[in-house]
Each structure stands twice: as C-alpha cells, then as structure tokens.
Structure 1
Amino acid sequence: MRQWAILVGAIVLEVAATVSLRASIDNPWWAVLTVAGYAGAFVALSALLRMGAPIGVVYGIWAAAGVALTAVLGTVLFAEPFTLLVGIGIGIVVAGVVLVETGHGHVTEGKVRS
C-alpha cells in the first residue's frame, strides 16, 4: 500500500511540474515549481525502485498517468484541444501499461513468477 501512495505522489508531482512548465510561458516564476515537481517525482521514483518495485511497471504507470492527466488538465486549464485522436492515444497508452503489468509477472521471494 505504501508503494502505491509513493507512486501516486510521483504522478501528482510530475503532472504539477508539467502543467507548471506550460504556465511558465506566461509567468517565469512557475519554473520554480516545475523544477521542484520534477525533482520530487524522480526522488519518489527512486524510492520505489529501492523498495524493489519493478522499473517497467512503475515507469509505465507513472508515464501513462502523467500523459493522461496532463492532457486533461491542458484542456481544462489552457483550453488545449482534446480530440478523439487524443482520447484514443490515451487509451492506447493505458492499454500498453496494462499489458506490461500483466505480462511482467509477480516477484515472490526474489523470483519472477508469471
């Protein structure tokens, strides 16, 4: 359960950083939050890896959630278009993460089990 909380934190930090990066176009001070968010996200990801979480699964979930949430927030906050193709692309990314997760197997006592 703790690993999921850290992963959610990493996702929130990365999305906040990416949205702040877009906001820094209009106000350069947002760049401070951009740097802090990305740094925090990578610290959280490295903590997950030290805890033994599989990198393919962690990175896949982190990246897919980041892409999806950033696209939605870009639409809400910056009036960027959310087209059918964007929605299909997000669906494909999510499906890819599901395939990586299910195809990865589970680690039990240091051995990978499918």
Structure 2
Amino acid sequence: MGYLFLALAIASEVVATTFLKFTSGEGVTFANRWWAYLVVVVGYVASFVLLSVTLSRGVPLGIAYAVWAGVGVVAVTIISWLVFKEFLSWMQIGGIVLVIGGVLLLELGAKH
C-alpha cells in the first residue's frame, strides 16, 4: 500500500513542477496566473504529505526518496519535451536511462 501513496506523491510533484512553467515568462503576473501558483502550492504540499504517508506505510526513506526524485525528474523531462517542445539531446536521453537504471537498482537491491 505504501507504493500506491508513493505513486500519488510522484504524480503530485510532477504536476506541481510542470505548472511552474506557467508561472514564468514575459507578461506573467500573479494576477493573470494565480491558478498556476495554486496548482504548484497544492501539488507540492500534497506531494510531501503523501511522501510522509508512504514512509509511515513501511517504505524505507532511501528507497522512497530515490524513486520519488528519480521518477519525478524523468517524468518532468519527458513532459517538457512533449508538451513544451524543449530540446532533448542524446546525452540527456542517456541520463534518463541512467536515472531509471539507478532507481531500479536501488529498489531491486532493497530488502523487502
């Protein structure tokens, strides 16, 4: 059950981080983008609360944080590439593969 909360924590963090893009740029003010700021704040608060619940359900801190951070980085990078048309080099793709591999090794090497 802890991993379900971890997945929800990751999703909340990815949404919050993605919406940071809508809080910046030319002509952006709090008055015309208040909804984006609200999504960012609610997303990050929800993410940390869900991460805390994950830990209380028995998922080790090192594993939970590595998965949360690694999956979040990869997901935001892919979303940035797909949605915002940001450039993704072969070196960055290699980095994504290494992050995924590292998270998998941490998870597979953990005692359950």
Q: What's the TM-score, normalizing by structure 2?
A: 0.86
What SS is found at the alignment partner of 1:73?
helix
Q: Which residue of 1 aligns with 2:12?
A: 13
What SS is found at the alignment partner of 1:105?
coil
Gap runs ≥5 in structure 2: none
Which is richer in strand? 1
- Report sequence identity in percent: 34
Aligned with residue 95 of structure 1, among 79, 101, 104: 101
Instruction: Report the more deviating stretch, 36-45 or 82-91.
Output: 82-91
Cα RMSD (Å): 1.3
**CA deviation vs aligned residue, 1:55-75 (integer Å, no higher than 9, x gap):** 111111111110111001101
Number of aligned residues: 105
**CA deviation vs aligned residue, 1:69-105 (integer Å, no higher than 9, x gap):** 1001101221111111111111111111122122222
What SS is found at the alignment partner of 2:24?
coil
Q: Which residue of 2 aligns with 1:24?
A: 23
Gap runs ≥5 in structure 1: 107-114
What SS is found at the alignment partner of 1:80?
coil
Q: Which runs of 4+ in 1 moved over 6 A?
A: none
Query: Partners in 1 of 2:22 and 2:86 — Cα distance?
Result: 13
Q: Which residue of 2 aligns with 1:58?
A: 64
* Structure of higher RCO (CA pairs closer than 8 Å, 6+ residues apart): 2
Query: Partners in 2 of 1:100 and 1:4 — Cα distance?
Result: 15
Query: Partners in 2 of 1:78 and 1:11 — Cα distance?
Result: 20
Matched-pair contact (CA < 8 Å) for 2:2–2:55: no
